[in-house]
Amino acid sequence: MRRTPFYNFFIVALLVTMTASVSAQQVDSKLPWSVRLTESEMIRYPESWQLDFQPKLKWDYCHGLELGAMLDVYDAYGDKKIRDYAIAYTDTMVHEDGSITAYKLTDYSLDRINSGKILFRIYEQTKNPKYKKALDLLYSQFEGQPRNEDGGFWHKKIYPHQMWLDGIYMGAPFYAEYAFRNNLPQDYADVINQFVTCARHTYDPKNGLYRHACDVSRTQRWADPVTGQSKHTWGRAMGWYAMALVDVLEFIPQHEAGRDSLLDILNNVAVQVKKLQDPKTGGWYQVMDRSGDKGNYVESSCSAMFIYSLFKAVRLGYIDKSYLDVALKGYKGFLDNFIEVDKNGLVTITKACAVAGLGGKVYRSGDYDYYINETIRNNDPKAVGPFIMASLEYERLQKKFSTMKRTIFKGMMCLLLLGVGATSVYAQQQQRKDTLVVARDGTGEYRNIQEAVEAVRAFMDYTVTIYIKNGIYKEKLVIPSWVKNVQLVGESAEKTIITYDDHANINKMGTFRTYTVKVEGNDITFKDLTIENNAAPLGQAVALHTEGDRLMFVNCRFLGNQDTIYTGTEGARLLFTNCYIEGTTDFIFGPSTALFEYCELHSKRDSYITAASTPQSEEFGYVFKNCKLTAAPGVKKVYLGRPWRPYAATVFINCEFGNHIRPEGWHNWKNPENEKTARYAEFGNTGAGADTSGRVAWAKQLTNKEAMKYTPQNIFKESSNWYPYK
């Protein structure tokens, strides 16, 4: 539309009028921050549709975010003008037949779902049937929303195969609440799958963070050609994801299968948020994986989102109470660094990134320079809404503390009367250590890893990190069964090396005593280190021997020859992600259930990669996804696997095979009976060795539908819903 002189005059006049109106109204400084900010926004934008700097009607996520926060303020303090302000927007946008201005279902944009959340409460209060119709309309979008093969929603129809962390917040809380309010328990599994799938696609094992997005097709210029992930962890994307988790968990019944997966993801997010909190401001950086780097800045919207999420998660018991200190530090820092108040009491939030995305017509590369150079503005609703919600959580906490004042004195007297007992509790707290440092050069608390392991208390309910500085640690390391919730983290994968040199022919040792590292405990994680059996190639020589359950290996190297990794317990669940594993014969073997993602399997000799002994009762054995199979020079005849025992199960999905893989692919261990029971399969593999035309007849090529069942939640289901990405 061509702008006429009259139009320009009208706009200028309107702005002048609004400015005068704003300057004439005041906000009482004695009010709680949630109310002060709400009233400030209502003064800045007299019409609720004007929120998010809008010159025309728009149905988008920002209105739902901020107006939802305002309705929370109304619920807390009962000021009817706030409720009326929100309803004015929905009355304007939603028509009698349930249609919504500026909403087009067939766009299949998750961003358009979020504003629907405010309709639940408005329909409850007004009983106007048009809002129920609108809710049903928005819910119907999920039926047609384009999906990837693993069920993950596309962020938008125009962004094929892409999952964004942003999109989880835009769609999942509405989806969960609709299912809860309409008694649709069958939808809970799909809601959970959106989180789990997105986490799997965006998780960065090197730092525990989640990238902004992933292109599963790996065709976008911003996408990593192997993982499909975007280049960085954008603070607000992580913030959206955190808020989505705490909001959705309210609607997922505690008994629902997979709910524990959400709690695991949330706890990992909390760990990373705590780790990356800026010590000076209490906030978080625009680009989280480059925190503190030149040009990066502490950004208000992601900071508000993390504060809100931590407050709420602690209140509802989703995460440990110790995170309350992180939230309180963040909240105080937010007030000190992002809040400005003018002479009329109007509250302004500063330093918010206006917008950041990926791809699009004006192509957004998603590199570091892109994120740090996006527009920064004041009073962005992506900061305003979450800070209102964070303030409400803080204010709720203050009220709780005020009601406790009467009992504090009594409690203190009880502690004094208990005397020794109180002192003992305090002493135990003082003895608790979350991090132990090992260094060969004596600069740590321990020189040997085993000494640090033995210092860990038995059956802990909190996580201890054993940080291992670079060096060569020649020791035969055992993690005993009574040790759990421990992370062993090296300074670097290449230079933090645990090594030993036992092999089967030393004093008739046999295979199972040759290990360099043996893990008997559950819930153990290894990161950024090398485990090596340095014995000469004179027989079986195990580098890693596992017997525990729920074990994870992230960015680790496993070096050896024959029998490098032994997964030794039936039903135990293991995850190897971004690891390098080398060997000669059967260098991955055993009965456990194990998922290998983005790993390199390097054959040093013509032989066999795997020798699974999966029990008949276990559906999954070894699953290799997005791995790369390489070989030393001259190695040209390698089998994918042979069955150590009947019913061995091994699957390769979306892997890259070098030309060293034999055309037949699989071996029966010279026993034709194994062909009747072995469960060997392939799907979507590429490379010179992936041609299936010469494969043995008793191996299987999976269909698309069959391949879709190989998800972490299916592979690791067993007796609990362990989600290992943490």
Identity at 547, one-letter amino acid code: E
Phi, then psi, of 661 in degrees rounded to 5: -75, 125
CB 707 within 8 A of CB 677: no
CB 317 within 8 A of CB 341: no
Among candidate residues 293, 434, 586, 606, the one labeled active-site is 586
Other beta carbons less than 10 A from residue 148's beta carbon: 18
Q: Name the DSSP letter for residue 4.
A: P
Place of tokens 């988790």: 245
Q: Is 655 helix (H, G, I), strand (E, B) or coil?
A: coil
- How many other CB atoms are found less than 10 A from the CB of residue 553? 29
Question: Of the listed 52, 204, 528, 563, which one is catalytic?
Answer: 563
- Tell me how far apart the alpha carbons of residues 467 and 237 are, in angstroms, rounded to a whole number: 29
Q: H helices within 280-380, ranges in order?
A: 300-315, 323-337, 368-372
Q: Which amino acid is at 63?
A: H
How far is residue 137's CA from residue 178's CA, in Å, rounded to a whole number?
11
Task: Determine which helix (DSSP H) or strand (DSSP E) holds 326, and give its type and residue range.
Answer: helix 323-337
Q: Distance between alpha carbon 311 and the CA centroid of its chain, in Å?
A: 18
CA 150, 153, 157, 160 dihedral sign is: negative
List of residues 6+ apart from 280 with CB closer than 8 A:
none
Active site residue 586: yes
**CA dist list (Å): 464 to 327, 458, 486:** 22, 11, 5
Residues 6+ apart with CB under 8 A from 562: 537, 539, 540, 541, 583, 584, 585, 586, 587
CA distances from 151 to 108, 159, 198 (A): 15, 15, 10
Task: Please compute Rg for the chain using Cα positions.
Answer: 28
Q: What is the DSSP letter of 442?
A: S
Instruction: Write the CB contacts of 122 (distance below 8 Å, at least 6 apart in sequence).
Output: 71, 86, 87, 90, 128, 131
Here the tokens at position 378 are 């004041």
| Residue 49 DSSP class | G
- Of 366, 348, 344, 368, which is closest to residue 357 (Cα–Cα)? 366
- Active site annotation includes 111: no
Is the Cβ–Cβ distance between 476 and 502 less than 8 Å? yes
Calculate the CA dihedral of residues 59, 64, 67, 68 and round it to 10 degrees.
Answer: 160
Beta bridge partners of 210: 203
Identify the three-state secondary structure at position 5. helix
The residues assigned a catalytic role are 563, 586
